Structure formats: structure tokens, C-alpha cells
């Protein structure tokens, strides 16, 4: 079996949620958000190791919380950078030598499921690079200063989620080629480097906790244990 590593991006400050503590460390449904997220990868048979990027200063606390909870696949806790891209790059440099496929996932998406991870892994093994995404459901407006400038046809528009991933060699090359240019996800980096990226239908429930209301919704869904039974 191909050795697959997961990079968990958990080094953001999550300012839009409006809390002192970064959103990925807030407690929801009995555990911090990032623990809910990690558990999905820890318990997935296709994943061999996890490297997690955390904000500088959080390394010890996170490492000891993982030890206490008995996580076995987390190989390293690294300190992240100023951007998501810098955090993922640092984690990528810390994956074990034998890892050939890499998934990247936002710690702030705790509702990821085994089904989604398995579907992504299947596509990755076949195609080399892929991301989870959902088709845009609503009509899209370009708005400036509170007025509609125009309506953008939604046909062919998809919203990118994580997990995303690629062959390790592709991802490393994409990071090398990106240099100082900033991208908001790995798929964009891979596209810019000229690699073909496949789309796997994602899940609307796999949303990213971004605003305070997302915390409430995630708490309800986690309490219902909605993903774990899939
Ligand atoms: O800020 P945003 O919600 O887009 O962040 C997406 C994910 O990337 C979050 O899980 C966040 O913790 C992570 N991140 C990171 N390093 C940064 C900024 C964000 O790992 N410098």
C-alpha cells in the first residue's frame, strides 16, 4: 500500500471567529476542534502518518494533549508560518522519507468523513493530484459598494474544500516553483506548476469554521455525531 501522510493546517489565528483562542483550539462537543478533525485521519486505515502545524508557542500544549489522548499517527508537531502556505510548506518538509502521497486538510473542517477521505485517496492514487469541492448552488453576484455589478454564470463553478492532495514529488515541486508567490490552497499551487488536478465531489457538511455562527452549527453536528456513521 502507498504510504500516505496527512498535513493538518492548524496554525491560523482564526480572527474572523472573534475569540482570543484560535478557532481550531476551541472546545466543541467535548473536545477541541482540531481533535475532532485529527480523529478522522487517525482512525482511517489508509493514513500512515500525520504532521500538524500549529501557531508558534502552541507546540508543547498540542503535543501533550495528543499524548494524553493516545494519538499514534502524529509523527511531528511543527510551528506554522504567517500564511497557510508557509505552514503547509513547513509540515511538508517534516514528513517521513517513505511517504509518497500527501493529503492536506484544514484543522477548521472537523466534519470531514472517512467516506470523503477514501474517495479522495482513490482518485489521488490514480490521477496524482485532487481536491474535494462542491458545485456552487446559488446565483453568484459580483458586488461592489453594496451594488450588483454583474451576475456571474455559475455553470462550472465549484467551491474548493479540503482535503486536497497530490503525489509528494508533485507537491514538493509545486512548492519549489511557487517561491514567494502566494496561493490560497494546494490545488492552486499545483495548477500554477502545470499539474492536472482532479475534482472529487465534496460534502456541504465539510464546511470550514470561519464565523461565530459556524461554531454553533459545527457543535450541533458534532454532538449528533453525524459524520462518524457514514
Ligand atoms: O484562515 P483560514 O480559515 O482560511 O485557514 C484555513 C486553515 O489553515 C485553518 O485550519 C488554519 O488553522 C490554517 N492556517 C495555518 N497557518 C496559517 C493560517 C491558517 O495553518 N498561517
Q: Of all protein residues, whose CA lies closest to atom 14 belonging to ligand 1?
A: 12
Alpha carbon 49 to its chain's center = 15
Are the CB atoms for 52 and 74 separated by under 8 Å? yes
Give, for all 230 residues of the chain, the pLDDT tens digit: 899 999 999 999 877 777 788 999 999 999 999 999 999 999 999 999 999 999 999 999 999 999 999 999 999 999 999 999 999 999 999 999 999 999 999 999 999 999 999 999 999 999 999 999 999 999 999 999 999 999 999 999 999 999 999 999 999 999 999 999 999 999 999 999 999 999 999 999 999 999 999 999 999 999 987 765 55
Q: Is 81 in the pocket of ligand 1 (CB under 6 A)?
A: yes
Are the CB atoms for 132 and 201 separated by under 8 Å? yes
Q: What is the pLDDT of residue 31?
A: 94
450541533: which residue's cell? 220
Are the CB atoms for 55 and 79 separated by under 8 Å? yes
Q: What is the pLDDT of residue 156?
A: 96
Q: Which atom of ligand 1 is nearest to the CA of 55?
A: 16
Q: Is 39 in the pocket of ligand 1 (CB under 6 A)?
A: no
83-111 core/surface letters (b: 16 or more CB in 10 A; e: else) = ebbebbbbbbebbeeebebbbbbbbbbbb
Q: What is the pTM of this model?
A: 0.95
How far apart, in whole angstroms, are the C-alpha atoms of residue 129 and residue 124? 5
Q: How many CA atoms lie within 13 A of 62 on its CB side?
A: 28
Helix, strand, or coil (residue 61) = helix
Q: Which atom of ligand 1 is nearest to the CA of 106?
A: 10
Domains of the chain as residue ranges with CATH: 4-229 (3.90.550.10)
Q: Is 9 in the pocket of ligand 1 (CB under 6 A)?
A: yes
Q: What is the pLDDT of residue 13?
A: 85
Q: Is 82 in the pocket of ligand 1 (CB under 6 A)?
A: yes
Which of 6, 7, 8, 11 gets mutated to test ligand 1 (max ligand atoms within 8 A of its CB)? 11
Number of neighbouring beta carbons within 10 Å of residue 81: 17
Amino acid at each position: 500500500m502507498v504510504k500516505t501522510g496527512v498535513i493538518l493546517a492548524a496554525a491560523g489565528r482564526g480572527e474572523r471567529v472573534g475569540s482570543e483562542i484560535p478557532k481550531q483550539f476551541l472546545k466543541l462537543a467535548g473536545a477541541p476542534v482540531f481533535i475532532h478533525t485529527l480523529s478522522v485521519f487517525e482512525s482511517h486505515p489508509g493514513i500512515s502518518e500525520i504532521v500538524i502545524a500549529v501557531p508558534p508557542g502552541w507546540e508543547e500544549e498540542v503535543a501533550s494533549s495528543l499524548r494524553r489522548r493516545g494519538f499514534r499517527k502524529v509523527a511531528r508537531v511543527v510551528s506554522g508560518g504567517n500564511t497557510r502556505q508557509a505552514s503547509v510548506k513547513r509540515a511538508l518538509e517534516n514528513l517521513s522519507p517513505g511517504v509518497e502521497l500527501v493529503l492536506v486538510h484544514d484543522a477548521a473542517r472537523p466534519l470531514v468523513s472517512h467516506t470523503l477521505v477514501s474517495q479522495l485517496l482513490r482518485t489521488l492514487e490514480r490521477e496524482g493530484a485532487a481536491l474535494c469541492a462542491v458545485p456552487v448552488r446559488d446565483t453568484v453576484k459580483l458586488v461592489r459598494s453594496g451594488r450588483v455589478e454583474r451576475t456571474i454564470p455559475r455553470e462550472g463553478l465549484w467551491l474548493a474544500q479540503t482535503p486536497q492532495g497530490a503525489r509528494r514529488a508533485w507537491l514538493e515541486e509545486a512548492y519549489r516553483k511557487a517561491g514567494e508567490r502566494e496561493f490560497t490552497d494546494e490545488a492552486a499551487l499545483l495548477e500554477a506548476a502545470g499539474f492536472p488536478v482532479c475534482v472529487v465531489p465534496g460534502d456541504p457538511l465539510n464546511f470550514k469554521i470561519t464565523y461565530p455562527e459556524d461554531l454553533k452549527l459545527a457543535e450541533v453536528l458534532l454532538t449528533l455525531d453525524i459524520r462518524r456513521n457514514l
